[in-house]
Structure 1
């Protein structure tokens, strides 16, 4: 009879987790707007002076603004960026976006969710109707694609 392997303990301190990050990585930050953000994680990233050139995927809030203020972000994918429920842009994010020092990719919130779901499942993409009929394609250029459904269901996913 074979024994079931014992799962290894994957817990680690915040500093241990952040020490594994490298410049140029893509990171996803949880929470929604200004709520439920892992701000201890953001502060730990800010303490890493050598950590830069990050691509950040977020439902944006103060996390993205703080990372932009420290020059940590080179590219951001987000559904929105606000400091609260009211549509108030984070000033550091707004400055970096306006001056062009970061590449910013705003998208439909459903597109963010589909992308994160695909990443969690280790898939290259996950088809979604989110964003269709909006201006997202006009701003993204060739970065976004539509696909034909392999199933007989109204043809294209459009």
Structure 2
């Protein structure tokens, strides 16, 4: 089955009120083209599940998130995502905090269609006190150990960016870490991939082929679709653009200008604006990347 979609077709399949999982990690291999496409729709009131980065920041700045479930929201080289900071300080979204181990096992529970998974992470911390959805269970065996029960993180839709994909929905990640992307695809009712490049055949070890077609609803061709986050080894994080993003986030007028310049058009307009900014600054977006898509 050919599952190719345009970015506009993808965006039309996400509805207000959905729970949306977003793959990647901080400012690394985020499906930014898909996130930008959502900003051009009227979708709102989302519950977002993410190891957050600028995906969360952009959606929060646009007022699209009702509730965020996350272990962190960072730009990596910038410790705290600025729009997330503002949203927390102003109380414009509800935040359900997990730690990374709980998050991993919550995704695993959903992927295996289980109600929860037991985990030791978080016991003795204040996270259960601030997150009343977290409960404890007692082992039914002789040890009688009390464990935290990480509830299944079920999602309506998952968004994931991969390096290579075929038209049937198989995806390949070539970087040093798959993050939790495969679990997102297994835990969601529908999954939409964006990819740097379509291929007819995959080359590489089987552990790079964790995203499987039976879990994927549609695939969008989006070269540089993770920008401004990294997509190693294809390209690195565009630190110059990220700095511009952070500067603009500090001032409402500057952010309106940034939005008009980079986010008001479609993906092609975004990529042109990024290239124009790089030319004006004498820099190259994602400096040091190897472009294998053109």
TM-score by length of 2: 0.47
For 1:151, the equivalent position in structure 2 comes to: 141
Offset of residue 85 of structure 1: 4.1
Contact 1:33–1:85 (CA<8 Å) still a contact in 2?
no
1:30 aligns with 2:20: no
| Superposition pairs of residues 5-154 of structure 1, within 5 angstroms | 9=1, 11-13=3-5, 14-48=7-41, 50-87=42-79, 89-140=80-131, 142-154=132-144
**For each residue in 1:32-86, what CA deviation from the matched residue of structure 2 results, as whole angstroms up to 9, or x when unmatched?**
11001111111111111x2000011111111100000111101001111111245
Aligned length, in residue pairs: 147
State the secondary structure of the residue aligned to 1:92.
helix
Which stretches in structure 1 are left out of the alignment for 5+ residues?
Answer: 1-8
Per-residue deviation at 1:118?
A: 1.6
Runs of 4+ with deviation above 3 angstroms:
none
Structure with more relative contact order (C-alpha pairs < 8 Å, separation 6 or more): 2
C-alpha distance in 1 between matches for 2:125 and 2:63: 31
Q: TM-score, normalised by structure 1?
A: 0.85
Cα distance in 1 for residues equivalent to 2:136 and 2:145: 12
RMSD, matched Cα: 1.7
Question: Which has the larger displacement, 128-137 or 58-67?
Answer: 128-137
Q: CA deviation digits over 1:88-110, x for unaligned, max 9?
A: x1111111111111001222111
Give the drift of 1:10.
6.5
The structure where strand makes up a greater share of residues is 2
C-alpha distance in 2 between matches for 1:101 and 1:43: 20
Q: Which runs of 5+ in 2 are unaligned?
A: 149-294
Q: Taking structure 1 as reference, are residues 135 and 82 closer, same or farther at Cα in structure 2, changes over 3 Å only? A: same
